[in-house]
Amino acid sequence: MTRESVTTAMRRALAIADRGPVTGVNPRVGCVILSPAGDLLAEGWHRGAGTPHAEVAALSALANPADAVGATAVVSLEPCNHHGRTGPCSEALIAAGIAEVVYSVDDPGEHSGGGAERLRSAGVEVTGGVLAAEGGAFLRVWLTAERAERPFVTLKWASSLDGRAAAADGTSQWITGTAARHHVHERRAASDAIIVGTGTVLADDPSLTARGEAGELTAHQPVPVVIGERAVPANARIRQHPQPLVAVGHHDLAAAMRQLFDSGIRHAFVEGGPTLASAFVAAGLVDEYLVYLAPTLLGGPRLSIGEIGVGTLADARRLRIDSVEQLGDDLVVIARPIPPHTHDTTPQTHPADARHERTT
């Protein structure tokens, strides 16, 4: 088996993994099975919770199950080694007679990891780390959540070019244009949960649904989460959301994120006002920044971000720009914190009561 053929197969495994659902507790995984001569025998990917994992799907796609004997399985993630809703992929590969397993990224799960060791103990040749950078980038959201045992957090805000979330009188609907707002709904639909503070709920009465260009609900709806001690009104629009409301009756963000992780949330989309946004930043809980910039100037005090614990330039929260895209007249900037995280990660406890850019 040549390195080139294995690399090509791994790129194929990553490509078909992308067909799996972007939301949910499970990672997107692809598997390609090669003959000893390097020919493609079968492929499969994970289609969602409760369905066969990629390795089992690929084995099931073989024209003749006996073809697995002596073959190589190329997988985008280390085969799992635990009994969940399906059996361990490591055991399925061993039982099928696979002779070699090549994977891209180690499974960091406390219960699901260890597949490589199990395979080696059964005499299977195992190679990890093939296209690890590409595999890690593809699984960044899921890997971050699993390693930190909290959801991957995308923080979104919209502002004028001078960083204001609203005019001096509080008006903010709409700072950005239609294309930017459609983009927000696409990102909501790709998340497991959408988070706001009680201040946003009481001031704006948002629905927090993901909607298409015609206003229709998308197939997947993020779970609505409200953080704050004040009660959500019985007649609030958020209570009509297709998903049940999760009301977090405190301001301990670290505890709230662990609660969401334990409930199966792996990607959280944080909206709302500057107070909640600033609390997430100050707590060191933001993995991705999604900032929409409108070509307008507002001036005044209503900044998109408030106090985040930076007293001097040396303490600034440094970011890396991943992309900049024009959406109509607006820009969307996607950035991430530059590792390592050396700032204090103590959760902030002040109320999330502010809002400026209206959330619907």
H or E stretch including 111?
none
Q: Which of 11, 116, 124, 113 is nearest to 72 (CA)?
A: 124
Comparing CA positions, the residue from 94, 84, 27, 86 lying closest to residue 59 is 94
Classified as helix, coil or strand, 299 is: coil
Annotated catalytic residue: which of 4, 43, 55, 357?
Answer: 55
CA 95 distance to own-chain centroid: 33
Exposure string (b/e) for 5-44, b if CB count within 10 Å is 16 or more? bbebbbbbbbebbeebeebbbbbbbbbbbbeeeeeebbbb
Angle at Cα 318 formed by Cα 359 and Cα 278, nearest 5°?
35
Q: Which two tokens stand for residue 289?
A: 């920044």
Burial group, residue 230, by CB count within 10 angstroms (0-12, 13-18, 19+): middle
Residue 55 is a catalytic residue = yes
Q: Supply 34's token pair.
A: 């090669």
DSSP 331-354: EEEEEEEPSS--S--PPP-S----
Alpha-carbon distances, residue 155 vs 149, 267, 337 (angstroms): 18, 11, 12
Question: With b meaning 16 or more CB within 10 Å and e meaning fewer, what string describes 312-345?
Answer: eeeeebebeeeeeeebeebbbebbbbeeeeebee
The two tokens of residue 268 are 């959280």
Instruction: Give Cα 328 to chain centroid, integer Å.
Output: 26
User: Which residues are identified as catalytic?
Assistant: 55
